[in-house]
Each structure stands twice: as structure tokens, then as C-alpha cells.
Amino acid sequence: MKTSSVEQRIADLYKQESSRVRATLIRLLHGNFDLAEEALQDAFVAALSQWQRDGIPNNPRAWLVSTGRFKVIDRIRKNARLDDLAQLAYTLETETQADSFDATDTIEDDRLRLIFTCCHPSLAMQARVALTLREVCGLTTEAIAAAFLVPVPTLAQRIVRAKNKIRDAAIPYEVPEQDGLPARLEAVLSVVYLVFNEGYTASSGTQLMQPDLSTEAIRLGRLLLGLLPDPEVMGLLALMLLHDARRESRTNENGDLIPLDEQDRTRWNQTQIKEGCNLVVQALRAGSAGEYALQAAIAAVHAEAAAAEDTDWIQIVCLYDALLKVNPSPVVALNRAAAVAMRDGPFAGLKAIDELADHKDLQGYYLLHAARADLFRRLSQPEEAAHCYQQALGLTQQAPERRFIQQRLATLQKQK
């Protein structure tokens, strides 16, 4: 093959296979993330020279794993001054002689092991997110820091501390046994959903959305579903697809927020909606409905309505009732109250929201005040609405949401 063809093939392999190869190298190098990253880079550098001379091997993935492991052994033997590294080199060499690596299934298992390790509950949530995006998704430290508006050194330290915690706490590089799987899977899904939410509605900053993050979360969801076809994984992927399907209609050309009932539904991604709805059906048919499957079902009802006035609010309230049994959180209760307002009118919605107003977890939640403001607005009570909007404005740091509230306030001012 021509040199340019080989280089292109290697570049394509890096995009397609680097996460798989990295995951396996982490296992083979006894959970040493840094050595695995060095091994990965060394393997691809070696491929650039050797494949142009010898041709591309029949199993490039296995070649890269084996080469990376050999390169690490050589690197340690040349540079090691510490007994533990010398011992590691001896261990790796012994293991290398004992087995020749070429199992595709093992590589896929390694990707699942890596996800569960990066999302281990003993790590802080911020560390889980950063480590997953770095090691599983292959995002650069700079890209992750930019997405979360964190200084690069801070993000880098967060990743280093997470790796050290995995090493010092001897967190096993494995998929949990069946009896421990549900709890650990919940921790994994919460990381994926947090990444998606930060992309779908950024917690702060000048933009409402960070599409790269939500796209990465959906990619993680697809990967997880391919490795572990669990109903809740189906539910989470469906939920993300259905929300993301509305991306193009959520803001105008100036980046201003457009409420759900005012969005141009012809701009919703029908391919994603169809896929998401099909996944919802599969998840609900698989057994008792979990939190993500029920949230996805609510999103599906919204997505299937041709116009805002066609929304089946009776069904949505029923789904929120079921969701509250699974996850009796005040935020779910607030969302249910908003749905009750759409089903039974703003007075009923205000009554349901006021019953939640003293909950400590909602004291600093701007959407509680924004929801009350909207209901007062619908009841033609501008002073009460303006007061609630002012409370909401003081609690949000996101520029598009702030502009939306300010626009509502300006409209109310004209009505006085």
C-alpha cells in the first residue's frame, strides 16, 4: 500500500479503535492509566513505521494491544529506578509470555470494565465525569475543561486524583457481579446523564447548549447499550435522543431560549424521535419501568404531539405519578405540578407547587420560582408573576435563561 494510504488507515483506526485498545491496555497494565496511555501512543507510532514496511496486519487491534504492552516493558526496563516498576516489568513480561492477546470479545468486555471503573461510586461525581470523558471517550483535558468552564490545571488535577484514588483504593477493574450490578449501573447512568444534561442545558455560561457534550453522552449511551442491553440503559438512551431531537428548535438565531410550547416542531429530528420512541417501548416491555424509562416515556408523549395543544397531559401526569413512586424527589414532584397545571389549569398547578415551596432542596432552585411566575402570568396577575420572576432571576447563572426571564419581566411591565 502507498504510504499515504497506510497513514490514512492508521488515522482511521485511531478514531475507531483507540478507546478499545486503551481499555484493554489498562487491564493488561494492572490499572495503570498513565502507562496505558503511553503504550497506546507508542503502539500507533510503531504502526506508522512498521505497517508501511510490512503491511497492515490481519488483526490491527490485537497488534496494537500486543505492541503497546511490549513497548511498556521496554520503556520500564530502560528507565525504571524503582523496585516496584522493575517488578511490574517482570510481571508484564511473564504474563505476555503466558498469553497471546487476540480476543475481540475480551476487548469489548474491557470497555465495559473501564466504564464501571471510571464511574465507581467511591469517586467524586466531578471526578467520574472527567475521567469517563477522558479515558472512555478520549476527549482531551483541554476540551473537557472548556466544556465545564473549569481551568485546565484544575481539571487535570481532578483526573490525576481520580486515578490515584483508583490505585490507592485498589478499585477493581471489573464489571460487578449480578447481585451488585443494579446499584453500580445506576452510578454509571447518572454520570452519562449528567454529561448529557450539561450539554443540553449548560449550568452556566453564555450558551444554552453545548452540543458536543450531549452528543458524547449519546455516544456513551449507545456504547453502553451495545455492551449491556439493560432496560434502564435503553430508557436513558431513549431519553437523551428524544430531548436532543429538539435541539435545533430550542433557541433562535440570537441564542435566545424558545419554550417548548412555542418551538417549531417541524424542526424536531424525526429520526431520533422514532428511535427514541422504539427504545421506550422496548424498555417498558422488558419489565418494571425504571426512572429513565419513565422519563423517556414522558418525553415521547411530548415528541409525538403534532402541536403543543395536542399534548396528552392526562397521560403525562399519570407517568409522573409512576415516576414519583420510583424516584420521590421534589424536582419530579415540581415537574408533575407543572403538568397538573396544564391538565387542570393554573390554579391547580399553583396549589401543587405551593405544597412544595418549603422543601429545602427547592429553596435555591430557580425553576420553582419560574414555574410559579408563569402560572401567575397565565392568571393575569402581573405583580405576583414579576415578583417570582425576580426571584428566579437571582438564582440562575445561565445567560440565555436570564435573558428569557428578563424578556418576561419586560412584557409584564408593559401590562401594568
pTM of the model: 0.84
Residue 307 C-alpha cell reads as 402541536
Least Cα distance to 19 among 163, 139, 129 occurs for 139
What is the predicted pLDDT for the residue at 4?
76
CA gap 307, 304 in Å, rounded: 9
Residue 257 pairs in a beta bridge with: 251
> Could you give the C-alpha distances from 317 to 42, 78, 79, 81, 133, in angstroms and in order?
56, 66, 64, 65, 35
As a whole number, mean pLDDT of residues 184-209 equals: 86
- Burial of 281-304, coded b for 16+ CB within 10 Å and e otherwise, reads eebbebeebbbbbbbbbbbbbbbe
What is the predicted pLDDT for the residue at 101?
53
pLDDT surpasses 60 at 160:
yes
Q: What is the pLDDT of residues 79-99, one digit of tens each?
A: 655 555 555 555 555 555 445
What is the predicted pLDDT for the residue at 6?
87
Residue 223 C-alpha cell reads as 456504547
Render 3-42 in DSSP notation, one character per residue.
HHHHHHHHHHHHHHHHHHHHHHHHHHTTT-HHHHHHHHHH
Helix (H, G, I), strand (E, B) or coil at 72: helix
